[in-house]
Structure 1
Amino acid sequence: MATDRKGRSAGSSAQSPLTSVASVLALPLAPLYGAFLSYFVFHPPRKRHHKTPSDLGIDSTDVMVPVGGKGRGIHLWLCPGDPERVVVMGHGLGLSKSASLAQAALLHQAGYTVALFDHRNHGRSLADRTFWNMSERHTDDVIAVVRYLRGRPEYAAARVAVYGFSISTFPSLYMLRRAAECPVDALLFDSGPAADLRPLWRNFLASGALPVPGPLRRGPSGRVLGKVFASLAVAMLRASWPPPVSGAYRSTPLLFLTGERDTIIPADGVRELARRYPLAEVRVLPGTPHLLGVKTHPEEYAATVLDFLQRTLKS
């Protein structure tokens, strides 16, 4: 069962009379706040890059990939390596591409060209105030970066993998629906995706990662807020999920890295999704929470990722 930051079950009835009264009084606000949060998760406050490739001794070039016109685009750090082996890397919700630098350093040291990008409404990429069809919009971000790289002469013949993290694992997998316009050779996923979308949002809310006033956290207000938030967040995606077992989903190698103690996108949901696809591999990292595999099991994590890429991106 999901717990809040103080270890109490979300929606638990074990609360003081005063807390219960406050939750009841706040009930009319719960649907409105749930709707606000569903917009908020796709348009979070921007976090500055806490590190850059140069901090890890990696040479890089800043690139703005045009998306949506009017000078807007997806910002990426292009870290040159082997021009025939390229890995495109996303990041988790509310973060930026700097959150993926540890994995980028691992790959760059192994000789790969690495391109880290900020999704829209994150980092230095475009601001997109819309709230509908978010699945396709975030998939557009991934595709724009891959197509940009394939359009450069030095990477025109490259074998390309896309590496998603947490929420970005979903558009990274979703992009195979458009493989005819943007083919890739392999996909890697850290901490996601899962077979069902709705539990993801409930778990994210229960993790304490979102700003929720006390009276709306538990009791009847907490239950209503959670239901509205999860329902609207799924609706805003407008995704046909899970993706079909056809076309590129049958022929593209997939690696799923998941943590045994991941309470946001649990390993069981990841395994359930992976079982659908014939070329999927799953590695469950013992005792590992969400997105922390590279820290909890650095050697196993590195060996798994590098072995998979060596097999799938070889010429």
Structure 2
Amino acid sequence: MPLPDPTAPAEEERDGEKRALPLVGVLPAVVLAARHAYELYHPPRSKPGRTPCNKNLPMREFTVVTRRDRITLRGWVVPGEGPHTVVLCHGMGRTRSSTLGHIEMLHRAGWNVVAYDMRNHGESGRDKRYGSMAERYTEDLADVLRWVRAEPGLGGGEIAVYGFSFSTWVALSVLRRIDDRIAAVICDSGPAFDIGSALKKFAVLRRSALPRPVRGGAAFSVYRACFSALCGHMLAVRSWPPDLSRFTTRLMFVAGGQDIVVPASQIAPAARHYPDSERWTAPNALHMNGLRFDREEYRERVLGFLARSFGETGPADPEGPQDKRVDIHG
């Protein structure tokens, strides 16, 4: 997508006469768009959040150093009773602390849980890079999965990946980066099928926080175009959605019925790309909070899906609804 030229005069036709539109706010819009695009992948460092200890869960910390560029990724292991492990990937701008509710749910079901801070988030290292961010985040997850498989304290069972929002793109793409089999991938609140449209949506969601001269008119149009174009350029996603036809990994897509960030209508075409996937729209959920607003059915569906993927039966495999392929709708 070509970037708009902030120095070119904007014009409109009025009463047969061309008049220049006011350019107040257009240059600041370009500057803000560039800064916010960078911050999408490099959010300001946040204060340390809660840990599994706050929920009286057992835990230990671990560190993985990425193969690509030696970035340090920090995470938690919350051990379970069984051999299987679920790896959690938080949403953009958040940290592993945002997944504590899911960590507790999965631990209570008997599984090991691994959660880590993505690069540029939480306590993990920062890269100051401007490009190939999709490749970097995907390779980071591959490094974590290799560590999980090699870690003797995790039982050597099956592995599942559980991604939220932005990380759902990474969770699907990582399957082509590792040699080992992944039993299941759960995508919660993503991925968006049309990445460019999703990035423009993020720009709209930021609108109320922008300086007044940038909130409307030509200035906001420039901001939205620049933000989405720069974010897309930095992300550099290739081959989307990924071709996973040769993999036996089971897939589940969860959308929020009230989600305005990545709505069910964006997730549906991505999910339909994988006809054997399980799909569900949590009717009351906003973005990434189905466990809160549709708790009982969310737990039933997610735990049942994972138990089937791990080849388990018992308490973690409840007799849930028989409609495994509930179409996501917007």
Q: TM-score range by the shorter chain?
A: 0.7 to 0.9
The TM-score, its normalising length taken from structure 2, stands at 0.83
Alignment match, 2:149: 150
Distance 1:135 1:182 in 2: 21
Q: For residues 210 and 305 of structure 1, do their structure 2 counterparts lie closer, same or farther at Cα, with a shift above 3 Å needed?
A: farther
Q: 2:210 aligns with which of 209, 212, 217?
A: 212
Task: Return the offset for 1:33.
Answer: 2.0
Q: Across the two proteins, how many residue pairs are aligned to each other?
A: 292
Alignment match, 2:269: 272
Q: For residues 23 and 178 of structure 1, do their structure 2 counterparts lie closer, same or farther at Cα, with a shift above 3 Å needed?
A: farther
Superposition map of 1:160-309 within 5 A: 160-179=159-178, 181-208=179-206, 212-240=210-238, 241-248=240-247, 251-309=248-306
Q: Is the contact made by 2:94 and 2:122 (CA closer than 8 Å) also made in structure 1?
A: yes
Q: For residues 238 and 54 of structure 1, do their structure 2 counterparts lie closer, same or farther at Cα, with a shift above 3 Å needed?
A: same
Alignment match, 2:63: 64
Q: For residues 77 and 268 of structure 1, do their structure 2 counterparts lie closer, same or farther at Cα, with a shift above 3 Å needed?
A: same
Q: Which amino acid aligns with 2:210?
A: V
Alignment match, 1:46: 45
Q: Percent identity?
A: 33
Alignment match, 2:13: none
- Unaligned 5+ runs, structure 1: 1-21
Task: Return the offset for 1:72.
Answer: 3.9
Q: For residues 69 and 254 of structure 1, do their structure 2 counterparts lie closer, same or farther at Cα, with a shift above 3 Å needed?
A: closer
Higher relative contact order (CA 8 A, sep 6+): 1
CA deviations 1:225-283 (Å, max 9, x no partner) are 101111111111111122124322xx211111110111111101111101111331111
CA deviations 1:209-238 (Å, max 9, x no partner) are 895322112211111110111111111111
Task: Return the offset for 1:51.
Answer: 1.0
Q: Secondary structure at the match of 2:273?
A: coil
Q: Secondary structure at the match of 1:82?
A: coil
Q: Is the contact made by 1:260 and 1:287 (CA closer than 8 Å) also made in structure 2?
A: yes
Q: For residues 280 and 209 of structure 1, do their structure 2 counterparts lie closer, same or farther at Cα, with a shift above 3 Å needed?
A: farther
Task: Return the offset for 1:160.
Answer: 0.2
Q: For residues 23 and 59 of structure 1, do their structure 2 counterparts lie closer, same or farther at Cα, with a shift above 3 Å needed?
A: farther
Q: Which amino acid aligns with 1:162?
A: V
Q: Secondary structure at the match of 2:181?
A: coil
Q: Is the contact made by 1:65 and 1:74 (CA closer than 8 Å) also made in structure 2?
A: yes
Task: Return the offset for 1:153.
Answer: 2.4
Alignment match, 1:75: 74
- Unaligned 5+ runs, structure 2: 1-20, 313-330
Q: Is the contact made by 1:143 and 1:182 (CA closer than 8 Å) also made in structure 2?
A: no
Distance 2:81 2:195 in 1: 36
Superposition map of 1:57-136 within 5 A: 57-68=56-67, 72-136=71-135
The TM-score, its normalising length taken from structure 1, stands at 0.87
Q: Is the contact made by 1:23 and 1:216 (CA closer than 8 Å) also made in structure 2?
A: no
CA RMSD of aligned residues (A): 2.1
Q: For residues 133 and 70 of structure 1, do their structure 2 counterparts lie closer, same or farther at Cα, with a shift above 3 Å needed?
A: closer
CA deviations 1:170-224 (Å, max 9, x no partner) are 1111111224x34311001110012110122122222238953221122111111
Greater gyration radius: 2
CA deviations 1:41-78 (Å, max 9, x no partner) are 00001222321100011110011111258974111110
Distance 2:158 2:49 in 1: 30
Q: Secondary structure at the match of 2:49?
A: coil
Q: Is the contact made by 1:23 and 1:218 (CA closer than 8 Å) also made in structure 2?
A: no
Alignment match, 1:10: none
Distance 2:152 2:64 in 1: 16
Q: Secondary structure at the match of 1:84?
A: coil
Q: Which amino acid aligns with 2:287?
A: H
Q: Is the contact made by 1:43 and 1:129 (CA closer than 8 Å) also made in structure 2?
A: yes
Q: Secondary structure at the match of 2:41?
A: coil
Q: Which amino acid aligns with 1:252?
A: T
Q: Secondary structure at the match of 2:301?
A: helix
Alignment match, 1:9: none
